[in-house]
Amino acid sequence: MKVAVLGAGAIGAYVGAALHRAGADVHLIARGPHLAAMRRNGVHVRSARGDFTARVHATDDPAEVGPVDHVFLGLKATSYAACGPLVEPLLHDTTAIVAAQNGIPWWYFHRHGGPHDGRRVESVDPGGRVSAVLAPERAVGCVVYAATELEAPGVVRHLEGTRFSVGEPGREVSARCERFGEAMRAGGLKCPVEPDLRNDIWLKLLGNISFNPISALARATMRQMCLHGGTRQVIETMMRETLAVAEALGCEVGVSIERRLAGAEKVGDHRTSTLQDLERGRPLELDVLLAAVVELAEITGVEVPTLRTVHAISDLLALGSAA
């Protein structure tokens, strides 16, 4: 199996190293000092599960890689619409794009069934610009439960979790998902093929939609947000509103808000990815987390006043950070 990891940052390089260890033909596409380090020394993974090094081919030129069976997309969702020149050289007729993104994916209503089947979510696919680059027919959804960080160029620190759930938009258990899952598991990761990945999307989103924007607005860690009474109450309300939208779309999260908050509190003084992006002057990935759910609430007729308020304030923050 030939795999290209486009956007081989902390998560992408971790996945690529695991797949390489499983015997897959892996190619990491990155740039800058991180690319230079991987070219020189491979990917060093440091983990409580055991350290290892994977000497994987790394490049900044997808044309050097050519067509592959799977593209593991490790880019931020904010980069999807502009990634066409990077993706195109990697595609053949049946190439699958495994998109490891948080929030509502651009393919959400592709083969969804029911009254919203085929509908475009403008917040994540404005004017169809993402679908024009990443055809929904190629999409394999991926919900990431692992946490990693780049400790140094070419060095990935695995913090917790090894689960990467995958699934088809049409809910079938496909051969391409099975092949990818088998390779991930052979590399030491958990990779269940879910009959309906949308349930996992909402489960992960339950935390992201609340903790990520609030952390950026308050410059707060997970523990701080959970222990502050007023903030905790806001987060609980955001979660309740999010669950109502998920249920209106036929999804079941299966985890209580109390359990979700308890798990977040145990994480401790962790800074969310949105807060880290704000501190580093990077674009904030809030459209797929928050704006999309507000749009879905409008589609389904669900009242989400707290989500709307937090979205308005965090959107202003995002505009300021991008200036």
Catalytic positions are: 204
User: Residues 181, 1: contact at Cβ < 8 Å?
Assistant: no
Among 14, 242, 201, 208, smallest CA distance to 106 is for: 201
Nearest residue to 265 via CA among 316, 223, 310: 223
**Residue pair 168/141 in contact by the 8 Å Cβ criterion:** yes
**314 Cα distance to chain centroid:** 19
Which has the closest alpha carbon to 105: 68, 144, 70? 144
Contact 22, 184 (CB under 8 A): yes
Q: Give rounded-to-5 percent helix, strand, coil for the chain.
A: 50, 15, 35
**Cβ-contact 294, 304 below 8 angstroms:** yes
Q: Quick count: other Cβ atoms within 10 Å of Cβ 278?
A: 21
Rg (CA), the chain: 19
Distance (Å, whole) CA 182 – CA 75:
23
DSSP string spanning 110-144? TT--GGGTT---TTTSGGGHHHHHS-GGGEEEEEE
| Residue 55, amino acid | R
